[in-house]
Chain A
Amino acid sequence: MILSLYLILAAGLFAVGLYGLLSQQSIVMIMMGIELAINGVIVAAAAVWYFIVPGSPDAQTVVLVAMTAMAVEMGMGFAVTTAIFRARDVDMVDSASDLKG
């Protein structure tokens, strides 16, 4: 178990999440992709703590922050989806192009 493998795992999770958040149409699915990406960050932070800086708990703090980010993202995401659904009766990201131009 070397650092590189953990990091490759993290990279893989991140890449899958990236694929998801770039290609999905539904807001909820995009959120799922984001969650996967952050999960990858969590794994990478944990690996860094273990292999590089085990003496200080700084990397664990990063994990905590990442988890918080997940929670926040989900909460806000669903709120926005609700608002859009109420306004337009769709939850597709393609219809939210009001900022065009």
Chain B
Amino acid sequence: MPLVLLVMLPAAAAVVLLLRGRRTDAAAPAIAVAVAVIDLGLAIVAAIARPSAEVTALNSIPGAVAVDGLAAIAMVTVAAVFLAVVVFACGDIGRGEARSRFFGTMLLFVAAMFVTVTAVNIFTLLAAWEIMGATSYALIGFWWSEPGKARSGLIAFITTRSADVGMYVAAGAALAAGAAGLNLARLDEVAGGWRDIALAGLALAALGKSAQLPFSFWLSHAMAGPSPVSALLHSAAMVAAGGYLLLRIEPGITATGWLGPVVAWIGALTALLLGAVAVAQRDLKQLLAASTCSQIGFIVLAAGVGGVAGGATQFVAHAAVKSLLFLVAGAWLAALGTKNLLRLRGAARTHPVAGITFTVGALALGGLPPLSIWVAKDQILSAALPASTALYTVGLAAAALSAAYSAKALAVIWTRPASVAPLDVRAGRIPVSELLPLPALAIAATVLGVLGVPPLAAAWSRTLGTPDAPTSPPWEFAMSATLAVTVIVLVVWWQHRRLTRSDELVADTAWLRDWLKMEAGIDVIVVRPIRALSAWCSRFDDRVLSQAVTTVGSAVLRLSRVVNARLEWAIAAAVAFVADGARRLATAAVRPQTGLLHQYYDQAIVGMAVLVAVFILMR
């Protein structure tokens, strides 16, 4: 019951808001906040009660949702972040905007997200997955009338959708193998080949949704949407759903043997390379986006090596941290009108609350012990170390890079601006509704580190249903901690010096800033061939198919002309011949009628003679 309500309440509210349109603009925020609060309560209740629900859909495949340990954690996280984001959005999406559409779509998204995290079989997962994709497209392109925003939404949608083909393939493979109801938990019991295909397909879909390599470029475009959207979708919910899915099918991944290392390496490389990309960014939201890819890469790495506990911790911690950072970036964007790092110089000093919470979040992001993300990363790296030292090294390097970009951002916002800007530009106030959720998220970012403490860690693992995670030796902790602190301090000092001297950003490499030119690569490898193919198909249709129709028509015309010329002429000639013969016969028939009596007598006598001859002969 609480699970059903948890899903249906936002869904129903979304339907109402979306259908009513602009008329409910005034009531939309209130409705959304109310639903978010109720949902948080319901999520906590459901997390404790662990219910399940089922509705008959296809022949033997129900639409089933159930709450287990992992789902409980995810549900509560999503509900909490959703509440924070909705409260923020009350102030960010102001009066003149299409609030009904915004909040309606957000509610629909969160309903789909709940179903995704609690889905039992691939069918339910697929349905919710697709709804998430559709709503994210609508949310990214929220301001569709501005040029380029709709295109950004389209790029995001098409890229994730292309990756979702993997999920369809997985459903097909699972059906072919006869997996009972496509149950996710029983995928590892499926016979060999199909299992590999199914799991690979699911992994592909998850990687696409999580913006891992080589799909990462769509997250860059997704930053065109409003900041609340970035805070929810692109930190806690949608991109994290991919990592969540990988955590859920982790037993299956381990069972295949080959998929685990592949997934782990993809995650590690994403973490490393996208971390470098983040370091090179000039735009705060782009930096945060690249950082999201990098952090989710850690979750993917965890799923690959079997560290479900670490992955779950990272999921929760990253949700809190990244949503906080995105919200602050959005607040500054609304207040100061810019997301360019150089122009945000000293923003923390003019907006203290935002600045302090941003600092807390950035330090957590950088992996400063004992904040949440450091704990999570360490759990993951502990799981990675026994699997492969190379993985561990790459993960460690990625952690260092995350420290670097966090420090860069921190340095920029705390450095005093070069000159005192005019008051009207720098004095945009951040509304209270926007500031409200920030402290709570900051506290969460800090406090969630306790999940790494041994007694709690054991309870965590029990909740997740995984065996106890191997803890790494203390020297590993010490090394990572030292690494993080060192990098943060160094980079802060370096960036601060560069700013004060030349008002430039460090590590400003072009090809890194351009997201490793992935989009250009995809354009060449995928987009252009498809366009060429479609152009060829169009030409084929025009020249051959429609030409065929025209040719058939003209051929029929020509045939009819030939028939007319040859055949009908012959027929007409034959008819004329018959008519002519009849006419000539008629003319000849008139000739005996001379009017002269003796000739009539002659004819009569001849006729009589013939008759007599016949008569005689017949006797």
Contacts and interface: CB of A to CB of B under 8 A. Distances in A.
Check A-B contact in the complex, CB < 8 A: yes
Most buried by A among B594, B596, B602, B605: B596
Contact of B595 (A22, A23, A30, A100): A100
A84 B602 CA distance: 23
B597 interface: yes
A30 B593 contact: no
Interface in B310-359: none
A100 B594 contact: yes
Interface residues of A, number: 13
Contact of B596 (A18, A21, A23, A93): A93
B601 A101 contact: no
A3 interface: no
Interface in B569-610: 590, 593-598, 601-602, 605
Nearest to A98: B595
Given A18-B605, A101-B590, A96 B598 contact: no
Given A22-B598, A100-B595, 8 more contacts: A21-B598, A21-B601, A22-B605, A93-B596, A93-B598, A96-B595, A99-B593, A101-B593
Residues of B in contact with A, size category: 10 to 19
A94 B596 contact: yes
A40 B593 CA distance: 29
B602 A22 contact: yes
Q: What secondary structure prevails in chain B residues at the interface with A?
A: helix
* CB-based closest 7 A-B pairs: A97-B595, A100-B595, A99-B595, A22-B598, A97-B596, A93-B597, A101-B590
B598 A101 contact: no
A20 to B, nearest CB: 10
Contact of B593 (A22, A23, A96, A100): A100
A30 B596 CA distance: 13
B286 to A, nearest CB: 113
Interface of B: 590, 593-598, 601-602, 605
B356 to A, nearest CB: 132
Most buried by A among B590, B594, B598, B602: B598
Contacts of A100: 593-596
10 contacts: A21-B601, A22-B602, A23-B598, A93-B596, A94-B596, A96-B597, A99-B593, A100-B596, A101-B590, A101-B595
B545 to A, nearest CB: 69
Contacts of A97: 594-596
B406 to A, nearest CB: 126
A99 B601 CA distance: 14
Interface in A1-60: 18, 21-23, 30
A100 B594 CA distance: 4
Contacts of B601: 21-22
B64 to A, nearest CB: 106
A101 to B, nearest CB: 5
Nearest to A22: B598
Interface string A72-101: 000000000000000000000110111111
Contacts of B602: 22
Contacts of B590: 101
B143 to A, nearest CB: 102
Contacts of A98: 595
Nearest to A18: B605
Contacts of B596: 93-94, 96-97, 100
